[in-house]
Structure 1
Amino acid sequence: MTEDDLDDLEFDTLRTGDHISAARRLSELAESVSGGVSRANVLLRAGEQWQHAGDHAKAAELYRRAMDDGGETYGDPRAYLADALFELGRADEARTLVEQIRADRPRDPEVYRTVAEVLYAQGDATGAHEWATSGADVILA
């Protein structure tokens, strides 16, 4: 399994709109991942597909598994988990995760973009602006 294989699966899903099948397939792949892709990365992608399918609880479960796995991922699984928690009505937990991410001072601009989008989706334009600006500062530093 390569990143290109995972990208192909996700592109097919964008074409078909069948996020549930993609989520199931990625969940299965995470159990037997080999090659140049980390298990945590596959779990994160599976969580995203469950979230696109509207199953935020399943998405949160997979994001937590990605965090517990500790393998390499794009971005920070906590940002994706925060998004799922907001969707589940667990805003206090989500905001705690966002503050933990902030305290860690990430160096990956992708993390800032993700958190900014999550906060914007929750109607927190000020928070989104702060995170986007901080991400730009990371890039320019």
Structure 2
Amino acid sequence: MDAADEARLLEEELEENPNDREALLLGVAKAWREAGDHGRAIELLTEAVELDVEDGDCPRVLLAEVLFDAGRDDEARAQLHALRLSRPDSPEPYHQAADLMRKRGEFAEALTWFDLAVARLDPDERARSYLTVGRLQVRRRLGLPPDDLDTSVEHLDRHLDEVVRKLRS
């Protein structure tokens, strides 16, 4: 079974279970994206955004990612702007946006999203969070000098490097 077959099966499940539509939308959208049907993924993610679907993945960030994939950068940036205006309390949507922009090589924008995410952590969490490590890594990439927050998580960054090295060997 290829990705398109899997997406069609998931779409059938979506249609057969209208009461579970909100819970299934993101999974079906991801399947269509994997199958290369950006148009259908965008339709489903737009619906998820309009329904304000709550999930571990932020529908707006996923929608922005698919829009970037489809070469619709202005629309993708508009989704990220709308996310910023919605001011979620959780750090997770900001973290997802930061990772998206980091993957795209847009490090200054990634830093803005990391700063927004870290601001939603309590002070004790900031010094223990790999989210803060992501911020540190982006700041290094931008050539910025370490600030107090960077210094507080350098030990986590070293630990992460060590784990990655062990996994690669």
TM-score over 0.5 for the pair: yes
Select the structure of larger CA radius of gyration: 2
Mapped partners of 1:117, 1:71: distance in 2: 21
Q: Which residue of 2 aligns with 1:25?
A: 9
Rounded to whole Å, the distance in 2 between the matches of 1:71 and 1:123 is 28
| Per-residue deviation, 1:70 | 3.9
Structure 2 matches for 1:90-101, cutoff 5 A?
90-101=72-83
Q: Is the 8 A contact 2:102 2:110 kept in 1?
A: yes
Q: Which amino acid aligns with 1:137?
A: A
Structure 1 moving runs of 4+ over 4 Å: none
TM-score by length of 2: 0.62
Letter in 1 for 2:61: A
Partner residue of 1:8?
none
* 1:86 paired to 2:62: no
CA–CA distance in 1 between the matches of 2:35 and 2:95?
22
Alignment of 1:104-119 (within 5 A): 104-119=86-101
Q: 2:9 & 2:121 partners in 1: Cα distance?
A: 35
Q: Is the 8 A contact 2:26 2:48 kept in 1?
A: yes
Which amino acid in the other structure matches residue 54 of structure 1?
G
- Matches of 1:117 and 1:48, distance apart in 2: 17
Work out whether residues 53 and 59 of structure 2, in 8 Å CA contact, stay in contact via their aligned partners in 1: no
Does residue 126 (structure 1) correspond to residue 93 (structure 2)? The answer is no
Aligned to 1:140: 122
Deviation, structure 1 residue 91 = 0.7
- Structure with higher RCO (Cα < 8 A, 6+ apart): 1
SS at match of 2:88: coil
Unaligned segments of structure 2, at least 5 residues: 124-169
* TM-score using structure 1 length: 0.73
RMSD of aligned residue pairs (Cα, Å): 2.3
Q: Distance in 2 between matches of 1:26 and 1:60?
A: 16
| Correspondence for 2:41 among 34, 54, 59 | 59
**Deviations 1:91-138 (Å, cap 9, x if unpaired)?**
111111101100111122221122112222322111112212321221
When residues 26 and 98 of structure 1 are mapped into structure 2, their CA distance, relative to the original with a 3 A threshold, is same
Q: Is the 8 A contact 1:83 1:118 kept in 2?
A: yes
Between the aligned partners of 2:53 and 2:110, the Cα distance in structure 1 is: 27
* Cα distance in 2 for residues equivalent to 1:135 and 1:93: 22
